[in-house]
Chain A
Amino acid sequence: MTSALSFATLSLAALSLAALPFAALPLVAQSTDGPRIDIALPTATSNMTVRLRNAIDGGRFEELLRNGFDVRVHMRVELWKMGRFFNDVVAREEWDVIVHYDQFDQTFDVARLEGDNMVSPLGTYRRLADAKAAVALPHAPPIGRPGPGQRHYYSVQAEIETLDLKDLDEVSRWLRGELAPAVQGRKNPGTALGRGLRTLASRLMGGEVRRLEARSSPFRVRDDGGK
């Protein structure tokens, strides 16, 4: 039994080590046209802004979007204060941007959701490229401004996923043992299983969930409000 884990783990280790070069490749794209988060620090006259560029480029987002699966971009901004020993979160804001394809009008709806029930439409577009541009609009979350003196930095996380895939992710659910509807209403169980297999493979290899993270440079707000 002592070697029991080794076979499994070494196989997975070899798989993961083989995948490392491929995992590193997207970094090159990040520096040019890949998905990325831009953080603009607050100034004396403006709040910080976050811009998520190229969020749904590549992958299968476009195909899934055109097949009726909304894309959700969940954004979280945290303001961290640098202490002597620990860093602390002093403020946090979250919002969503939803992209929905209307099959009848063949248009893309984009909307931002903030707070409990605040919905800000970002437009309806005929072209996906235009909808992507709406997703990439800079946003100034009401996160507040850090006080003068101490050093702070912003941390931003974005999670881009295709909604409703939870209904299809059958195999993943077998493995996790969760109770959630795999098949709702008229969906065919066999189809769901097939799509679940494809989804699991897709997620393992790079599919419909994308996570990005960015951190600003540490900054200190002066007593006059500048940085």
Chain B
Amino acid sequence: MSYHRLWLVLLVALLPSTLHAQTRGEPRAGRVPNSVSSAVISAYNNPATRKVEGRFVLSVTDTVAGTLAVLGGPVTVGGTVLGDLVVINGDMRLDSTAVITGSVYVVGGVVFNRTRGRVDGDMQVWRSRLTYRSDSGRIIAEEDQTMLSRYSRWREGPGADLKDIIIASANSYNRVEQLSILFGPRLRLNRGESRFTLEALGIFRTGDRLSWERENLGSRLLAEFRQGTEQQHFALGVRHTDEVDAVEKWSLSAAESGLTSLLFARDYRDYWNRFGGSAFVRVVPTGALEFTVAMGRERWDSRDARNVFALFRGGRDWRANPGALEGTVNLLSTTARIDTRNDRERPRDGWLIQAEYERGDMDISRSPNPEELALTAPNLTYGRAFVDARRYVRIAPLTSVNIRVVAGGLVHGSALPPQRQLSVSGVDALPGYAFRALGGEPDVAMCNTLPESTFAERGRPASCDRIALVQAELKGDFRVALFGADKRDDDRRWYADGLRADGSWVVFANSGRGWLTGPRDGGLTYPRSAIPSLSTFRSDVGVGVDFGMLGVYVAQPLSGATTTPRVFVRVGARF
């Protein structure tokens, strides 16, 4: 028995037992073991082996005495091989007349008609190609360093320096800007775990007319140094902004607001303009925690709604964009984020807590209309806190309970500027009630004190100093069994790219309200140390089905004059 034949026999004997479970000649997936690649290379390099490169046909009348090794292939065997047959990176076809007195080893290919002919020995087939280099008629195995390094780099994230020209959107589609296009260079330098990012981006807003004018232009500049990985780092930097920002970003998502704006001319957010700069420090001690502190100075201005395009407008006018308190403000803000959810898109377990505190000292002496906003002092100092806490709990393999508490508002100072005021309204908060419809008398949804015509004329602004909202939902998975009941005890479900073939039923309840701070009155204003009783909250209950990317629900209001249930659709989970 030759040396390489002995190698191959030993190889078969030493293969893991799991491999023996394979049907004879069945191609195996996975990387070719080093022992296998060594054996076939040894067989190929043996001087006694008959070597062939490329396509090869052994006809019925032909006989090869000894080992036959084919590099590349494909190989068709109709004759006789008095020994082993090794095929490297090629397929093999067996005819019924084939006779192989030894074993067949195919690496990087498959065997067609493997039950035909006669193979006295073993038949092993590996689909994965053998990586090798040629040297003076011999072949030498090579580790595929290219692939390894490629995936290692991918895993580690962008390690190389990066120079980009960025074209992206600065905001979701909205009635103030229409499309806001960010463009400009980004430079990112990586040195080990240190990263320096420099961005200088211009903003062009398409608005209601494509023209190069001040209203359509903005900017965003960023210089940031980060030490550490994405999951654990600290960063410091400075940024300049001349951008439009949304007033209540905690409520309906930007994607949903942008979608309804683009499709139906329904913009459920309000906006104002921020111009200024800030310095910030961010600490991420673990992947689940993030803390940021920022100090800056900005100029805040109002933005008017514009007559922008919508696909299915139906003759509707865009809602007016509520006016902002204009002036220069010194800002100190801190934000914290705790995220222990097991899944970002469909959490079943864990917490998501987002908390922020903002202290503003605003010079409104040159504001055009402070008296309209009932502010007479030249300065407005305020402290605003906001918490959005969510808890996801699985109570059974198919059933979850999710709870969300949102609370925030004025904690100190004289008053909040309108762009920092709040409301409890809309499909995200209380879907049983229409968006920005007055919430009874007094109005506990937007805290409006204006006549309704004035309120509508000003764009139905959020005017609450404080809000509180509690949401709870019970979710259970169901399966769509079109062809009879499925008696499986386990559960498999899959999603057709956003739409889940199997969904969840949802039963939910929401309760919340907003209020003003000050001397107690008939139910709208409360002292700072007081919280309205739960009996004054507006509540709704509802049911629905959640198919992952799309959910359809119906909500029934429980208080107020409105008793009609409302149907609504969410893109993604409710929270």
The answer to whether A100 and B147 touch across the interface, beta carbons within 8 angstroms, is yes
A152 to B247, CA, bound (A): 45
The answer to whether B394 and A2 touch across the interface, beta carbons within 8 angstroms, is no
The answer to whether A123 and B494 touch across the interface, beta carbons within 8 angstroms, is no
List the B side residues contacting A175 at CB < 8 Å. 172-173, 254-255, 258-259, 262
Q: Which of B449-503 contact A (CB under 8 A)?
A: 456, 460, 479-483, 489-502
Contacts known (A17-B552, A175-B258, A209-B498); A182 close to B155, Cβ less than 8 A: no
The answer to whether B263 and A8 touch across the interface, beta carbons within 8 angstroms, is yes
Contacts known (A24-B501, A125-B128); A1 close to B152, Cβ less than 8 A: no
The answer to whether B427 and A5 touch across the interface, beta carbons within 8 angstroms, is yes
Q: Which of B41-49, B115-123, B326-334, B565-573 contacts A (4 or more CB under 8 A)?
A: B565-573
In angstroms, how far is the closest chain B Cβ from the Cβ of A122?
Answer: 5
List the A side residues contacting B210 at CB < 8 Å. none
Q: Mark A182-215, 1 if CB is under 8 A from B, else 0.
A: 1111000100100000000011111111111111
In angstroms, how far is the closest chain A Cβ from the Cβ of B562?
Answer: 8
CB-based nearest B residue for A212: B494
B11 within 8 A of A: no
In angstroms, how far is the closest chain A Cβ from the Cβ of B178?
Answer: 10
The answer to whether A109 and B173 touch across the interface, beta carbons within 8 angstroms, is no
Number of chain B interface residues as a range: 35 or more
A56 within 8 A of B: no
Contacts known (A5-B568, A24-B482, A206-B499); A181 close to B434, Cβ less than 8 A: no
- Count chain A residues whose beta carbon lies closer than 8 angstroms to a beta carbon of B: 100
The answer to whether A88 and B349 touch across the interface, beta carbons within 8 angstroms, is yes
B395 within 8 A of A: yes
B534 within 8 A of A: no
A30 to B8, CA, bound (A): 41
List the A side residues contacting B567 at CB < 8 Å. 6, 9-10, 13
A117 to B220, CA, bound (A): 35
A124 to B414, CA, bound (A): 68
Which listed residue (B492, B498, B548) contacts A30, Cβ 8 A? B492
The answer to whether A23 and B144 touch across the interface, beta carbons within 8 angstroms, is no
The answer to whether B568 and A126 touch across the interface, beta carbons within 8 angstroms, is no
Q: Which of A59-81 contact B (CB under 8 A)?
A: 59, 76, 78, 80
B260 within 8 A of A: yes
In angstroms, how far is the closest chain A Cβ from the Cβ of B451?
Answer: 16
Which listed residue (B259, B349, B493) contacts A213, Cβ 8 A? B493
A193 to B397, CA, bound (A): 42
List the A side residues contacting B164 at CB < 8 Å. 181, 184-185
The answer to whether B434 and A157 touch across the interface, beta carbons within 8 angstroms, is no
List the A side residues contacting B456 at CB < 8 Å. 1
Contacts known (A24-B480, A117-B152); A179 close to B182, Cβ less than 8 A: yes
In angstroms, how far is the closest chain A Cβ from the Cβ of B105?
Answer: 16
The answer to whether B497 and A210 touch across the interface, beta carbons within 8 angstroms, is yes
A107 within 8 A of B: yes
B168 within 8 A of A: yes
A27 to B109, CA, bound (A): 33
A10 to B260, CA, bound (A): 12
B226 within 8 A of A: no
A39 to B489, CA, bound (A): 12
Which listed residue (B168, B343, B435, B497) contacts A206, Cβ 8 A? B497
Which listed residue (A12, A119, A153) contacts B152, Cβ 8 A? A119
Q: Which of A69-116 contact B (CB under 8 A)?
A: 76, 78, 80, 82, 85-89, 92, 96, 98, 100, 107, 109, 111, 113, 116
A33 within 8 A of B: no
Q: Which residues of B contact A (CB under 8 A)?
A: 27, 29-32, 89, 108-110, 126-129, 131, 144, 147-148, 150-152, 154-156, 164-173, 179, 182, 186, 220, 253-255, 258-260, 262-264, 266, 312, 314, 319, 342-343, 345-346, 348-349, 393-397, 427, 434-437, 456, 460, 479-483, 489-502, 547-550, 552, 562, 566-569
A-B contact pairs, 18 of them (CB 8 A): A2-B434, A7-B314, A8-B260, A9-B568, A11-B264, A13-B569, A23-B547, A59-B497, A87-B397, A111-B148, A120-B31, A123-B31, A126-B108, A155-B348, A157-B346, A177-B172, A211-B548, A214-B491
Closest 10 CB pairs of A and B: A123-B128, A177-B172, A175-B258, A130-B127, A2-B434, A133-B29, A12-B569, A211-B495, A212-B494, A24-B480
